[in-house]
Amino acid sequence: MKDKLITIAIRSYEHAQRLKEKLERSGINAFIFNINKQHSSIAEGFRVRINESDLVKALKVIENPESNRQKSPVEQILIPIDFSDYSLKACEIGFQIAEKFPNVELVLLHAYLITSTLYSFNRGVAAISDKEAFRHYISRIHADIDNLSNKLQKQIANNQIPNIKFKTEVLEGVPEEVILNYCDEQKPVLVIMGTRGKSQKEEDLIGSVTAEVIEHASVPVLAIPESSESQLIKDINNILFATNFDDRTLLSFKKMMNLLKGFTFNLFLAHFETKHDEWNSIKLAGIKDFFAANYPQVTTNYSVISGDDVLKAFDKFILDNNIHLIVLNTHKRNLFARLFNPSMARKMVFHARIPILVFHT
């Protein structure tokens, strides 16, 4: 009986081609089909299909990705860029933070996604006119990269930002996938991403790149609202560490202390509750004793804050205590939970007007 073909992935053309080559290096026959040629109503993309009998083997190949990129011998801070104003703001803050690290380089990463409108998929080969359009598209990206690099070099020359080594990367693929894959391979000490901030509606945020990276990143992510002041990140005096008393709290705190060891700050440890619970005050007192014994150098304040509207309570606490940075912990959740019950980290990233540092434990 003839083996049935099944779809293993839907990707842009170049991404699909790379996956096909990768599967074939593992001895798996793979085929690419243009979705638009089959179903004009379906979004642009290309199916990668394999024989059903190869499914288990193919999944192992996909779940254990190859990498031709050598891991950097120095620590990296990754800054995804899209050439927007808030992307430039993330770069400027990245330079300020990098100054606190003894041996670090900045990586400015731009991810692009080629849709099938740039291709005339004819026996797997793009038409000449489409190749010219592709070259023009890539040329424009590199021109934008050069323009951003020149801006940053000028700011370095004028002593507006520290003289930190940086490099640029341009990779093809879905932006959030590219960023997450880079984090898995290179393990940067931090990812810094810009957000548009409070002006956006909550319902517009589902599927945003920053939110997806925060939900899944294996490394800390610093989200920078568009309204943040670039220079203020150097003088982080007051940090709000939000806790829900689970086992991850102390692990996240340890990661935060390692990451921010170059900074001197006051710590505000706070738990937000929608209804009063006496046990919360008792748990907070226990954490206070732990911090006093293990981190005596940090001035720590402790608060249990009650209110029906957690985001409003956050805003008031931040204003009253002149908070410069919010630290949150999040963990992986399934798709249904992310869509219909967004995590506090996801909500706060697009609500706050100050930077938010998110750990994934």
Q: What is the mean pLDDT of each run of 10 residues along the chain (361 residues)?
A: 75 74 86 62 64 83 60 84 83 88 91 59 44 78 91 93 92 86 91 66 52 84 75 73 72 82 83 73 76 81 77 83 85 46 56 79 69
Task: Provide the pLDDT for residue 152.
Answer: 93
Give the global pTM: 0.71
Task: Provide the pLDDT for residue 126.
Answer: 45
Task: Provide the pLDDT for residue 64.
Answer: 62
Do 359 and 220 form a contact (C-beta atoms < 8 A)?
yes
Structural domains in the chain, CATH included, are 5-63 (3.30.70), 75-189 (3.40.50.620), 231-360 (3.40.50.620)
Give the residues across from 172 on adjacent strands. 112
Encoding tokens for residue 63? Answer: 């779940």
Encoding tokens for residue 145? Answer: 């990269």
Encoding tokens for residue 61? Answer: 């190949």
Distant-in-sequence, close-in-space partners of 85: CB < 8 Å, separation ≥ 6: 226
Task: Provide the pLDDT for residue 355.
Answer: 85
Task: Provide the pLDDT for residue 221.
Answer: 92
Distance CA 99, CA 105 (A): 10
Binning the chain into helix, strand and coil, the percentages to the nearest 5 are: 45, 25, 30
Distant-in-sequence, close-in-space partners of 361: CB < 8 Å, separation ≥ 6: 248, 251, 252, 255, 329, 331
